[in-house]
Amino acid sequence: MFKLSALVVIISSVLSVSACTEKQAEMASSQDRKEPAKTVHSGSAGPASSGEAAVTEAIKKQVLPDFPALPIGTALDNYSHFTAHEWKGTQAETGKYYVDCIGWLDAGTMDVASLKDGVSRRGVAVKFVVVQDGSFRLAMISRLEAKSDGSVVSYPAADAKSILERIYANKEITF
């Protein structure tokens, strides 16, 4: 009788441990299947939320008062002097959205002095701000210099309108 009782206790213990192990494995498996949370970080280079993407697309369809014949996105996306460009949208904690178009220019047009100073390429950043009521404005245009060490230096462009005029006319930007 003692052997039978001991056998029952051992079997029930094994089954209990086995059931707990299966439950833990099932819980771990369900946690692995969860989608990662998408968060919005101001200035983040991570994946944009659907709100940021929608705001970016909306800005691309708008026109600037000084250039009513061509949508913003068409002018910047079709600017032939960009060797590469990207659109990025971010939301600030204040609720404002910022939409940036960052375009890089042909490095072959740079002067020798800049190359000696470690500048590997130049570019332009066009920044728009969208407020909560949906209105937007051109916030700033910056000149960019990518250095050979990987850093990027940004300078506010004093001649923002002339840069836009060159982009909309598809003429080369030099600085």
Higher per-residue confidence, 7 vs 162: 162
Cα distance between residue 124 and residue 16, in whole Å: 66
**Least confidently predicted of 10-14, 70-74, 96-100, 158-162:** 10-14
Closest to 101 in 3D by CA, of 144, 162, 51: 144
Q: Which amino acid appears at position 83 of this protein?
A: T
Helix (H) or strand (E) holding 116: helix 112-116
Query: pTM of the entire structure?
Result: 0.68
pLDDT, tens digit, for every residue of 10-41?
A: 333 333 333 343 333 333 333 333 222 222 22
What are the domain boundaries of the chain? 1-34, 50-168
Give the per-residue pLDDT at 73.
98
112: pLDDT strictly greater than 50: yes
